Amino acid sequence: MTLGHPPVQQAHVPWAVRANQSSSFWRLVAVEARKLVGSRSDKIVMASAPLFLIGLMLLFTLPQSNLASAGKQLQPMLVVVQLGLLLVFATVIKLVAGEWQYKSVQPTLLVQPSRMRYLLAQAVVLAGVWVVCTLVTFILYPVLIKMAANGLNHDYLLGNRPGWVLGVAMLSTALVLLTALIVSLLIPNTGGSLTVFFIVVPLLALARMLLPDVFGLIYPLEPAWHLAGSGAGWPQTISSLVVWLTLLGISLLVLSRRDAG
Amino acid sequence: MLTAWGLTKAYEGRTVVDQVGFELQPGTVTAFLGPNGAGKSTTLRMITGLTRPDRGQATIAGRPFTAWPNPSHVAGVLLDAAAVHPGRSGRGHLRMAATLSGVPGRRADEVLEMLGLADAATRKIGKYSLGMRQRLGIAHALLTNPPLLVLDEPINGLDPEGIRAVRTLLRGHAARGGTVLLSSHVLSEVDQTADRVLVIGNGRIVADGPLAGLTSSSRSLVRAKDMNRLAEALQRGGIAIQPAPDGFIAAHAPVEQVSTVAFAAGIPLLGLREEQMSLEDLFFRLTGGGRA
């Protein structure tokens, strides 16, 4: 039986007027962005993230012994993106999974009940993180790899391919962020999500290095490696995209049905 | 203000809420009573859109909670005091909610002050006691000064001073024309607050009415200086008696009849009142002894 809604009572009273005015989506985005640095540990981690990234960049660029080709000059960036941005990804995981673990999503959903709107706001925050991470990588990495190439008396070969470098930086960062998002949506527990992200994903990277034809099929960064010119092949790239987009779809379905009580 | 029709929810084939329906009027405090697992929280979650009912519907001022563009201005809700991020401060938590609701940030400080949490405003919520978390949850519910408050076990964990403050606050909200629905599994938590009681047992509403009406029994409790004479007089008057706690006699008759018998026998009474059932007795009677 479908029950019709009676007309809204007291539509003129102040609370009804306020209740009829939807809260701005950007307010929701601002709140989710504030949550990203909502606790002391989040602030410390985010403040340490640039230092960690620069340290990892130095570690993976300066000791290189063969930077004779553009591909070899770009490949360390993929490792840097995956490892150097770990602290940022950890904060993202803490934001998404922590909200469900501590049920702090409940007060948010009681203020604005649309789960998809809530996720979209988190996605906008993630997009902001993605842009910042991509730009930092895009600006710093070429400087360091150029220093490393000069140290080896190799020509710096990325200078006339900025679009390619930017594309690889954008795609690789987006894929790692997407992986972090999927893991944290599927495992609504900060510890569990961080464990999976920090163990399974690097293990996949290692396995992909050893057996690219096999593990490239499920390695989340395979499309970025492909764009960087070091992919295992189209089947692996397509398979990786299908696998992770399917997981994204499943995680969204899980989110829409998860009990927030 | 709040209307629920036939709310029903089953988990894994087990019906936990079954055809629950009621209507709340402005200016009233209604207690939603039931033992743990009776279906109180599930009902409240269905009312507030966190759980989708299998059947039935609830509306607040004519619309489902989730159909209001900014529902926090319609109903202030506390479902789980533990549902807060322990790493954030009380003020930070409320300021985020204030931003989201579109109320000024200073309102967060006002409600913190109102609930006696001003001194702990900057402390991490993880360091709060259960009672402080409850008060923070109530502060969150009051943030937009909504006409309806839906509070799940709000008095749980509060000290006596906190309980009194919350009672005063809820009565004040109703006195200003607001509506309050609060759940509890302990009768004594709500008996001085609620105008009306909804009792839920095994997922169904088993009683609905003023508290005194629900817990009254057909027996009177009576005490006199000379208890032997009183017992004899009552028995002579055809009233069955039983010993009762605290030196009283439980007489199977209304207070008027007991008073008349004692007066006729010339026995001065030290106490006479209608026996009130405990919530446990009430549940036992209403649910036939079945506990969820």
- pLDDT tens readout for residues A75-85: 899 988 888 88
Interface of A with B (CB under 8 A): 3, 5-10, 15-16, 18-24, 27-28, 30-31, 34-35, 38-42, 98-99, 102-114, 259-261
Count how many domains chain A has. 1
Tokens of A153: 């008396």
Domain that holds residue A68: 24-257
| DSSP-derived 3-state class of residue A92 | helix
Contact state of A261 with B69 under an 8 Å Cβ cutoff: no
What are the pLDDT digits (tens) for A91-127?
Answer: 888 888 888 888 888 888 888 888 888 889 988 998 9
**A184 located within any domain:** yes
- Segments of chain B assigned E as strands: 2-11, 14-24, 29-33, 55-60, 75-78, 148-152, 179-184, 196-201, 204-209, 216-224, 241-243, 249-251, 269-276
Contact B187, B194 (CB under 8 A): no
For the whole model, what pTM was predicted?
Answer: 0.77
Contact state of A35 with B97 under an 8 Å Cβ cutoff: no
Sheet of strand B196-201: strand arrangement: B75-78, B148-152, B179-184, B29-33, B196-201, B204-209
Does B289 touch chain A if contact means CB atoms closer than 8 Å? no
Q: Which residue of A has its CA nearest to B51?
A: A259
Contact A39, A196 (CB under 8 A): no
Amino acid of residue A162: P
Does B261 touch chain A if contact means CB atoms closer than 8 Å? no
**A67 located within any domain:** yes
Bridge-based pairing state of the strands B249-251 and B241-243: antiparallel
Contact state of A107 with B102 under an 8 Å Cβ cutoff: no
**A10 located within any domain:** no
DSSP state of B89: B
What are the pLDDT digits (tens) for B221-279?
Answer: 899 988 999 999 999 988 888 888 888 888 888 888 999 999 999 999 999 988 877 66
Specify whether the backbone of B59 is left (phi greater than 0), alpha (psi in -120 to 50) or beta: beta
What are the pLDDT digits (tens) for A150-162?
Answer: 888 888 888 888 9
Q: What is the pLDDT of residue B59?
A: 94
Lowest mean pLDDT, pick from A27-36, A239-248, B189-198: B189-198
Query: Which among A18-32, A74-88, B131-145 has the top mean pLDDT?
Result: B131-145
- pLDDT, chain A, mean: 87
For chain B, positions 123-182, list CB contacts with chain A under 8 A. 124, 140, 144-147
For chain B, positions 82-101, list CB contacts with chain A under 8 A. 82-88, 92-93, 96-97, 99-101
What are the pLDDT digits (tens) for A41-51?
Answer: 888 988 898 89
Q: In the predicted model, what is the mean pLDDT of residues A239-249? A: 95
- pLDDT, chain B, mean: 88
Has residue B65 got a pLDDT over 70?
Answer: yes
Contact state of B84 with A104 under an 8 Å Cβ cutoff: yes
Lowest mean pLDDT, pick from A10-19, A242-251, B238-247, B258-267: A10-19
Q: Which residue of A has its CA nearest to B46?
A: A261
Q: What is the pLDDT of residue A10?
A: 56
Contact B100, A23 (CB under 8 A): yes
Angle at B222 between CA B219 and CA B223, to 5 degrees: 160
| DSSP-derived 3-state class of residue B47 | helix
Q: What is the pLDDT of residue B77?
A: 94
Report the C-alpha gap between B70 and B74 in whole angstroms: 8
Q: What is the pLDDT of residue B48?
A: 92
Task: Give which of A1, A3, A13, A18 to mutate to test B binding, by max B Cβ within 10 Å.
Answer: A18
Report the C-alpha gap between B146 and B66 in whole angstroms: 15
Has residue B287 got a pLDDT over 70?
Answer: no
Domains located in chain B, CATH noted: 2-213 (3.40.50.300), 217-276 (3.30.70.100)
Q: Which of A8, A10, A110 sits opposite B72 (nearest CB)?
A: A110
Report the C-alpha gap between B84 and A110 in whole angstroms: 13
**A106 located within any domain:** yes
Q: What is the pLDDT of residue A5?
A: 42
**A153 located within any domain:** yes
Does B57 touch chain A if contact means CB atoms closer than 8 Å? yes
Task: Give which of B12, B84, B85 to mutate to test A binding, by max A Cβ within 10 Å.
Answer: B85
Query: How many residues can be counted in chain B?
Result: 292
Between helices A115-151 and A162-186, what is the axis angle to 10°?
140
**A11 located within any domain:** no
**A15 located within any domain:** no
Bridge-based pairing state of the strands B14-24 and B2-11: antiparallel
Contact state of B93 with A107 under an 8 Å Cβ cutoff: yes
Q: Which of B63, B80, B147 sits opposite A5 (nearest CB)?
A: B63
